[in-house]
Amino acid sequence: MAELGRAASRIDTSKPHPARMYDYYLGGKDHYEVDQQAAEKVVEINPGIKTCAGTNRRFMHRATRYLAAAGVRQFLDIGTGIPTEPNLHQVAQSVAPDARVVYADNDPIVLTHAQALLRSTREGRTAYIHADVREPEKILAAQELRETLDMSQPVALSLNALLHFVPDEFHPYDLVERLVAALAPGSYLVLSHVTSDFAPDVWARVVDIYHRGGIPAQTRSRAEVERFFTGLELVEPGVEVPHRWRPDAETDANVTDADVSLYGAVARKP
């Protein structure tokens, strides 16, 4: 991938980045000192942030397995983040080896790791687009997407732990509506989002740390998260704290809602 060298040169290590902070919360190694410092400030205020990140990751695993088992063979994952195994395509292809996955992210460090996202099964296929969710038409028009996915057939659109970095001024509901509008009937939206419903004072301080690092961030209430699914058919149990969304053997039943502080859901486009 010719862009890799240029991407590495564009990585800004002077300020924290949400994908690299998330990598720190998950125990990864693909972050810099500036990310670690900001993340440790968050952990000091909210020790549950690591539980939040891990619970979100496991929600992605369960939602992806559910959709692959339900017959979905195409996935569009926007806001991919730094690869952490198992990645979405590995989860999907463990159920359906012929599943096709397109990843999209705008962080140069994710681009440098893109090869890890392109190790598909022989029957399936993966592709990567360097693009921002705030430019949905660019993603939808990308050659990599058109060569990998058949947009006349159902696609699962994954927006996990992304939209809390898209404040209202960037019109997140409009962005989601434009993306969903491009999907065929029978497609799905998978979405998770941080909330301050369970610990408002803590999350006000966490958001302030992100803002001071130059990272736009905004928590949303349950009603505000439900609004992203307007016009779609929610899969049971609807919008839920993710450790209660179809839990399985890897779900930690002992975590608290305040530690998780997320909502997640899967919904079908009629």
pLDDT level of residue 103 (50, 70, 90 thresholds) = very high
Beta-bridge partners for 240: 264
pLDDT at 113: 77
Q: Any idea where the domains of the chain sit in the sequence?
A: 18-269
pLDDT level of residue 140 (50, 70, 90 thresholds) = very high
**Residues 6+ away with beta carbon under 8 Å from 15:** 34, 213, 214
> What is the CATH code of the structural domain delimited by 18-269?
3.40.50.150
Q: pTM to 2 decimals?
A: 0.93
- pLDDT over 90 at 252, yes or no: no
pLDDT level of residue 10 (50, 70, 90 thresholds) = low
Report pLDDT digits (tens) over 197-245.
999 999 999 999 999 999 999 999 999 999 999 999 999 999 999 999 9
Report pLDDT digits (tens) over 53-93.
999 999 999 999 999 999 999 999 999 888 888 999 999 99
Report pLDDT digits (tens) over 174-209.
999 999 999 999 999 999 999 999 999 999 999 999
Classify 18 in phi/psi space as left (phi over 0), alpha (psi -120 to 50) or beta: alpha
Provide the H-helix boundaries in the chain: 3-10, 18-25, 33-45, 49-69, 88-95, 108-112, 114-117, 136-141, 143-148, 172-181, 200-212, 222-226, 257-260
End-to-end, the C-alpha distance of the chain in Å comes to 38
Find the mean pLDDT for residues 94-111: 92
pLDDT level of residue 6 (50, 70, 90 thresholds) = very low
Report pLDDT digits (tens) over 42-63.
999 999 999 999 999 999 999 9
Instruction: Decide which of 235 and 107 is more confident.
Output: 235
Find the mean pLDDT for residues 118-136: 92
